[in-house]
Chain A
Amino acid sequence: MKITCQEAAIISNKKEYREASFKEKLMLRFHLFRCALCSGFVKKNAQLSALFSRASLRYLSEEEKDEMKKKMFSH
């Protein structure tokens, strides 16, 4: 059941995208009991996700960007 901080961090990230398995979540919780450093990270990580959803960023797709490049240099 023991995991390293590195592994804990990866699970925490997966959790932010709702992709951590039940077993992983259990292992993470177990780890957080004993590790204050990782507890801090998990908290900050959740805050980061909250910031992203608040900013509601929009992106141009790679295709749109390629098209832009093409237009720029075809003149």
Chain B
Amino acid sequence: MSESVLKPESWVDLYADYLYNYALVRVSEPEIAKDLVQETFFAGLKSAVNFKGNATERTWLIAILKRKVIDHYRKINSKKGKAEVRMQYKSSYDNEGEWLEEQVADPDSLQENDAIENEELGLAIQECISKLPKKQSRVFTMKTIEGLETETICNELGINPSNLWVMIHRARAALMGCLNENWFRS
């Protein structure tokens, strides 16, 4: 593996969205997810000297974020005075079987399996987007994820519509190739 060196000045551009989506599925509150990402960057800066270079930058940051997520849950649980696992109890009117029976995960539940798969898909897409040239990924996310009008994007970036469609085309073609490698084959 090539020598890994930390470049904190490019962290936000390269990993903020990836980390944000990772956090969002775990805490589901956008503001908290954003704070956790920010804290991850702080912690990364602080412990940069401990980085040994045997992981990629992103893997290393994800490891920090994971700990931040755990800390977050510890904190909100200890606020109640004692450790407590928070879970959503079903409302009483649809209680039919035994309590325990109802809490057990249904292995055939499409809903949960879909959620897991979609999370992995989201991260695979994110990874592919982060490999695009900066301007292409910017145009692509504005158009596809933020759903902005062509005109708005053109005005903001100072390009004309045919530039925009060429960039969108290159981005989509690259993403098809990348997702073929990383998503459909794994």
> What is the interface of chain A, defined by CB distance below 8 A to chain B?
9-10, 13-14, 16-17, 19, 44-45, 48, 51-52, 54-60, 64-65, 68-69, 71-73, 75
Contact = CB atoms under 8 A, between A and B. Distances in A.
A16 B41 CA distance: 36
B21 A13 contact: no
A60 B20 contact: yes
Taking residues whose C-beta sits less than 8 angstroms from the other chain, chain B's interface range is: 35 or more
Interface of B: 8-9, 11-13, 16-17, 20-21, 24, 30, 34, 37-38, 41-42, 45, 118, 121-122, 125-126, 141, 143-146, 150, 165-166, 168-169, 172-173, 175-176, 179, 183
Given A54-B121, A65-B13, A59 B34 contact: no
Nearest to B147: A17
Contacts of B16: 60, 65, 68
A58 B20 contact: yes
A56 B125 CA distance: 10
Given A71-B38, A72-B8, A13 B179 contact: no
A58 B18 CA distance: 9
Contacts of B11: 72
B125 A51 contact: yes
Contact of A10 (B37, B144, B169): B169
Contacts of A73: 9
Nearest to B129: A57
Given A48-B179, A54-B121, A69-B12, A59 B172 contact: no
Given A13-B165, A19-B150, A58-B30, A68 B118 contact: no
A9 B179 contact: no
